[in-house]
Amino acid sequence: MELYSTLEHLLTLQNPAQKVEEFRRFYDRYSSGDVTKDMTANTLIFDKPSYAGHLNYCDQKEAPRRSKLGAVRGQILLLHSVAHIEYSAIDLALDAAYRFRDVGDEFIDDWLKVADDEVRHFVMINDLLHEMGSFYGEHIVHDALFEASKQTQTLLERMAVVPRYLEANGLDATPLILQKLEPLRKDPMVLKIIDALKIILEEEVDHVRRGDRWFHYACERQKMTPDVFFEIIERYYPQSFPRKTAINCEARKSAGFECHELEKISLIDC
């Protein structure tokens, strides 16, 4: 089994169940050292997300809004949104290992480990959707995470935008969702949702930390200071900082953010 051709295959699989099954089979072989590398193979830039032939998707601005979490529909829409984030994150991690071939084996190890976590997260959330009589793909999804990967074709920009911006935003958003769910925890299904989101939150800190490590590596390689992060985010997501809402300072610090960075990200004193 060859690494890059397998990753390219996984990145083009449209069926989520098939992607999960084939990734797990590949990752078992990778973990046992039973994978070769052909560094001469060309790297593709994908113009459509892998789910294009399987799901209906739209621009993020057109995506349906979540309804109240006290209602079953609101809980399903929440789970569906999380499932899509986790499924998209599988491709983001695979694409990092596929695309940036001159970084080394530790980089590949990191992002395949992240992909393995994201697969587990996706399956966990999709199982909850099935318990509620729904499934991944029942509702329209947005392509914002795919667009982020498509637009960031350098290691520096990818590590800044995906783990240090988009995934780090999840560290801020998930605790707010958990707060809204907490009064409903007497409902057994809500309790399962809370437990799943807590697992994801804890493990996403590690994902952001890995991205932070490789962001700093890219900065050193290009002889730039880490403050270039703010220039990159302003380029792709204008006026994102500073925020007037609270951020998860504890989680962001654990993931590698410095205090002076947190002060620039948020008006809240961390």
What is the distance between the alpha carbons of residues 65 and 47, in angstroms, rounded to a whole number?
A: 26
What is the structure's pLDDT at 63? Answer: 66
What is the structure's pLDDT at 62? Answer: 66
Cα 246 off chain centre by: 21
Q: Which H/E stretch holds residue 237?
A: none
The tens place of each residue's pLDDT in the chain, 270 residues long, gives 999 999 999 999 999 999 999 999 999 999 999 999 998 888 999 999 999 988 888 776 666 666 688 899 999 999 999 999 999 999 999 999 999 999 999 999 999 999 999 999 999 999 999 999 999 999 989 899 999 999 999 999 999 999 999 999 999 999 999 999 999 999 999 999 999 999 999 999 999 999 999 999 999 999 999 999 999 999 999 999 999 888 999 999 999 999 999 999 997 777
What is the structure's pLDDT at 30? Answer: 98
What is the structure's pLDDT at 68? Answer: 82
- CATH number of the 3-265 domain: 1.20.1260
What is the structure's pLDDT at 66? Answer: 65
Place of tokens 């949702």: 193
